[in-house]
A and B are shown apart, each in its own frame.
Chain A
Amino acid sequence: MTPARGALPDPGEWVDLYGDLLFRYALTRVADPELARDLVQEALLAAVQARGSFSGRSAPATWLVGILKHKIIDHFRRTAREAPSDGRDPEPDLFEPDGRWRAGPQQWRTDPALVMDRHEFWRALRGCLAELPPRQAGVFVLRELEGLETGEICQVFGVTPTNAWVLLHRARLGLRQCLERAGFRAAGEESSR
């Protein structure tokens, strides 16, 4: 079904061939279905304009994902401008003033590494990402899913490396806490202290 590398199908066929793949890719990163859909359309329209430059060295799907990735980064750059606040700091909820854990992180009931294919986990993760403050979510997605280095993230968000680390740390604390609430934690007696 999917054409081999080297040949780019007619744009009229792109939605059927790659629409769902691109939509899933975007939805995993931006959580909002309408926004994901718009980013897919934006990327495909950009690809129509750029199709003369398709070299055939990569598969069409890979080439299209690359264009979508740029649209997603552009989206986060806009988010960064529109949401200048770093968002809630989860540290005061999680730590005593002297720096000890308040309740101690509970052990996850399910090791996420063992549930790679479990829809349940990815749905929970997506829900938790959507709950993070926009800048924290954006920095986290670009770092963990797109694999951007700290330096690139600083450019997209217009922040210093220290600020980027603070945002990433807050995102990880918040995300972990949210996943724990979603049921990825130990039952009762394992709670520490």
Chain B
Amino acid sequence: MMTCREAARAASQALDGPLPLRRRLGLALHLSMCRACARYVREVRALHRLLQEWARRADAPAGAVDTRLSPEDRERIRRALLEAAGSA
């Protein structure tokens, strides 16, 4: 029987590629009997899906950061760009 530590490892790896059959079955069996691991896996998968969905909206990272470039940074970058454009 797979331990919780091993189940958590296998669940993570399953997010990044297919698991070998034996490990996949071992994980499924463990999760069917262990509430703590089932909960862990549910949350890690939820986070995975959430981030994927979020990353797909590259043009509008929903509520990601409310931060903006400072006026000084904007001015500095603008100048650098104009200079580069002029000499390019």
A interface list, Cβ under 8 A from B: 10-12, 14-16, 19-21, 23-25, 27-28, 33, 37, 40-41, 44-45, 48-49, 61-62, 65, 91, 95, 98-101, 104-105, 107-108, 111-113, 116-119, 121-123, 126, 143-147, 150, 164-165, 168-169, 172-173, 175-176, 179, 192-193
Task: Report the Cα distance A119→B68, complex, angstroms.
Answer: 15
Within 8 A of A (CB), among B33-88: 35-37, 39-40, 43-44, 46-55, 58-59, 61-69, 73-74, 76-78, 80-82, 84-85, 88
Tell me how far the C-beta of B31 lies from the nearest C-beta in chain A, rounded to whole angstroms: 13
**Are A101 and B4 neighbours in the complex by a CB distance under 8 Å?**
yes
* A108, B53: Cα distance in complex, Å: 20
Please indicate the chain A residues that have their CB under 8 angstroms from the CB of B3 in the complex. 95, 98-100
Bound Cα distance A48, B13 (Å): 40
Given contacts A20-B68, A23-B68, A48-B88, contact A65 B36 (CB under 8 A): no
Residue of B nearest to A98 (CB): B3
Q: CA A139 – CA B6 in complex, angstroms?
A: 21
In the complex, how many angstroms separate the beta carbon of A177 from the nearest chain B beta carbon? 11
Are B36 and A193 interface neighbours, CB within 8 A?
A: yes
Q: Which residue of chain A lies nearest to B81 when distances are taken between CB atoms in the complex?
A: A11
Interchain CB contact under 8 A, A44 and B77: yes
Contacting residues, chain B, for A44 (C-beta < 8 A):
77, 80-81
Asked if A105 contacts B84 (CB within 8 A), the reply is no
Which DSSP category, helix, strand, loop or mixed, fits chain A's interface? helix
A19 touches B43 (CB 8 A): no
Q: Which residues of A contact B59 (CB under 8 A)?
A: 21, 61-62, 65
Contact B47 A165 (CB under 8 A): no
Is residue B17 contacting chain A, with contact meaning CB distance below 8 A?
A: yes
**Inter-chain contact A101/B36, CB cutoff 8 Å:** yes
Contact of A145 with B55 in the complex, beta carbons under 8 Å: yes
